Structure 1
């Protein structure tokens, strides 16, 4: 008697666009972690590390920036589906929640950019 072994499709998420975006967003978490570590190095050193101007480091940071932006945008767009906000029985529309989230993101990003560029 032989045991049945189901064939595994390791690329199952490529068959549906929603799954592909979900998996891509989850994989961008690695770049989010890199961005945090790099910013901590910059803040700790009082400026960019010596290897910051290397072409490979610039390429990594450009990819990390794009991945982090994709991660943030898709995460903030999911907020209205995960959180229902009601004010006096009135449900706040999704675009208002997304708009508030994106506005807060821009403000915080501006503050972080100011602090990093100032060299705090």
Structure 2
């Protein structure tokens, strides 16, 4: 017979690394929720201009601004912590040499920056008005 030690449900509150890990995992809920919101907007767009205008009207309230700000902060936290943990689980070797963790994380940040710059250029810098 083996002994199984009982672990309290609050085990993740006992040490800061555990807490930060659980917070990062819970931010996935915010990411999924925002994806659901974007799918709802696409659905409203498929139903016509009036339905889409009504859906966009929901985003102009102070509560919506607050939720979007909180969502942005959660997604940024999720992304930054994910990029920082990536070198620990994704180990590359060039020949006999291990690629430094800063290079792996830096490549992720560079890709994020390039993608953000491209999206900003497409939305803001094309010189055309919608």
Superposition TM-score, scaled by structure 1 size: 0.78
Name the residue aligned to 1:51: 58
Gaps of 5+ in 2: 46-51
Partner secondary structure for residue 27 of structure 1 = helix
Alpha-carbon displacement from aligned partner over 1:26-77 (angstroms, at most 9, x marks no partner): 1001111122233445566388711111111111110000000000011111
- The match for 2:118 is 111
Distance 1:79 1:7, change over 3 A: closer
Q: How many residues are treated as equivalent by the alignment?
A: 115
Root-mean-square deviation (Å): 2.9
Distance 2:122 2:82 in 1: 24
Larger relative CO (CA 8 A, sep 6+): 1 or 2?
1
> Which has more radius of gyration?
2
CA distance in 1, matches of 2:17, 2:90: 20
Aligned to 1:28: 27
Unaligned runs of 5+ in 1: 1-5
Q: Which moves more between the two structures, 104-113 or 78-87?
A: 104-113
Distance 1:62 1:109 in 2: 18
